[in-house]
């Protein structure tokens, strides 16, 4: 076990690494590394051109099919599982994390107490932007771990996350885990009179159903992980550049114009095509500041986005692209977030890496691919609508039947076998 002085020294070094890599107090007037500053008409016309090119590229991605590998790390100061588990228990096995895992954790480590929850896996996705539909099968690996950065102790989670189908559009979000049988299920109908456990598809509204755990490829086009089709942030980067240009021309409220003129700065490198950087706010002085880098080599899509809160970085994201049929498609996403900072201490941090492989682009995708019945439902599986608090059973001949009207036939079910 490390002594307290050594532990404090290590934590101080980790915080120093974060602050060195993501410099906090950089003034917009001093960002020489971004190139020459643009002003006046050149500023607004450049933002307009960037906005149009990003939107044209995104609208050109009508359908997108592929798979990706993901790595997630979440840091929390809540109850540390290593403090309540017997290190010698057969339930857990020691595991040495690869160096890149530890490096990923250190990038966002700010708190002095807590643990990391690390997991990885693969995901298969279908994106139909034309009809605003998205489906993903998230398949976690068998290895999920807790890591205590203070003691260095790590152990395997005994119950890894199940594979999960998620389907969402502008109306609803459906989650279904085909290998998970629930014993505690909603019982507004007659479920408990049939058998004690069941597979359940949960349905909720699109507004409330997008969670940070979802592998959501719309993140590549938006400003945060909760982006969905019915949210304007699904085209955030294109909309934002155009919005700032409009404000600078006086198109908007007087307050919008004043703030944009005061805080918006635009820079360009000398290379051709250039990298254009938009700085909005004054990191270290304004409450919230953002930096966007638009790379001309990939159609001026955003390749780096950083947000600071009270001078400290709390969101940073990098996106890499590959060119397919004259469209720039994301091939890697790295995003990290720190929140709930109190006196330089964070109670939560999240980091995710996605490595994306495109299988097809702008090829037809049948509407049936996004229907719940295509996810492997079997006779007597349940659907629970969390909005209406109603429960249904699936009949492969009749479709979904309200529980109060469902006549269960044991001979047709393989539930619990």
| Cα–Cα distance, 398 to 276 (Å, whole number) | 57
| Cα–Cα distance, 211 to 234 (Å, whole number) | 15
Does an H or E element contain 309, and which?
A: strand 301-309
* Digit-coded pLDDT (tens) for 189-232: 444 555 557 889 999 998 777 777 889 999 898 877 678 887 87
Does an H or E element contain 43, and which?
A: helix 40-60
* Digit-coded pLDDT (tens) for 323-356: 999 999 999 999 887 765 555 555 567 788 999 9
* Digit-coded pLDDT (tens) for 48-91: 999 999 999 999 999 999 999 999 888 766 555 544 443 433 33
Question: Does the structure show a pLDDT above 50 at 6?
Answer: no
Domain ranges of the chain: 4-412
Instruction: Give, in degrees to the nearest 5, the angle at Cα 292 between 289 and 294.
Output: 165
Neighbours of 47 (CB within 10 A): 25
With 0.75 as the threshold, say if the pTM is over it.
Answer: yes
Percent of the chain with pLDDT over 70: 72
């Amino acid at each position: 076990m490390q002594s307290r002085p050594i532990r404090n020294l290590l934590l101080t070094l980790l915080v120093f690494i974060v602050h060195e890599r993501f410099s906090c107090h950089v003034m917009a007037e001093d960002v020489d590394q971004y190139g020459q500053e643009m002003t006046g008409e050149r500023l607004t016309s450049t933002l307009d051109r960037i906005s149009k090119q990003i939107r044209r590229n995104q609208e050109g991605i009508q359908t997108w099919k592929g798979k990706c590998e993901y790595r997630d790390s979440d840091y929390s100061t809540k109850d540390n599982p290593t403090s309540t588990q017997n290190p010698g228990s057969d339930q857990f096995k020691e595991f040495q994390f690869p160096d890149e895992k530890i490096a990923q954790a250190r990038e966002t480590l700010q708190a002095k107490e807590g643990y990391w929850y690390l997991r990885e896996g693969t995901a298969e996705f279908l994106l139909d932007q034309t009809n605003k539909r998205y489906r993903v099968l998230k398949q976690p690996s068998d290895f999920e771990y807790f890591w205590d950065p203070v003691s260095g102790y790590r152990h395997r989670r005994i119950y890894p996350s199940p594979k999960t189908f998620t389907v969402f559009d502008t109306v609803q979000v459906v989650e279904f885990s085909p290998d998970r049988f629930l014993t505690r299920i909603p019982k507004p109908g007659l479920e408990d009179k049939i058998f004690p456990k069941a597979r359940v598809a949960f349905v909720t509204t699109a507004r409330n159903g997008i969670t940070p755990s979802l592998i959501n490829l719309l993140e590549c086009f938006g400003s945060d992980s909760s982006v969905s089709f019915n949210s304007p942030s699904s085209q955030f980067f294109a909309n934002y550049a155009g919005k700032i240009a409009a404000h600078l021309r006086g198109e908007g409220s007087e307050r919008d114009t004043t703030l944009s003129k005061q805080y918006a700065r635009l820079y360009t490198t000398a290379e051709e095509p250039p990298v254009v950087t938009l700085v909005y706010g004054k990191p270290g002085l304004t409450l919230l500041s953002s930096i966007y880098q638009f790379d001309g080599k990939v159609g001026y899509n955003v390749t780096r986005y950083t947000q600071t809160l009270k001078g400290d970085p709390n969101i940073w994201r990098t996106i890499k692209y590959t060119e397919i049929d004259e469209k720039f498609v994301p091939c890697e996403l790295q995003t990290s977030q720190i929140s709930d900072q109190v006196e330089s201490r964070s109670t939560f941090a999240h980091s995710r890496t996605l490595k994306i492989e495109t299988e097809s682009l702008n090829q037809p995708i049948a509407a049936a691919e996004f229907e719940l019945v295509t996810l492997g439902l079997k006779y007597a599986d349940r659907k629970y609508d969390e909005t209406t608090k109603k429960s249904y059973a699936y009949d492969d001949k009749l479709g979904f039947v309200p529980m109060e009207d469902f006549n269960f036939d044991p001979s047709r079910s393989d539930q619990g076998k």
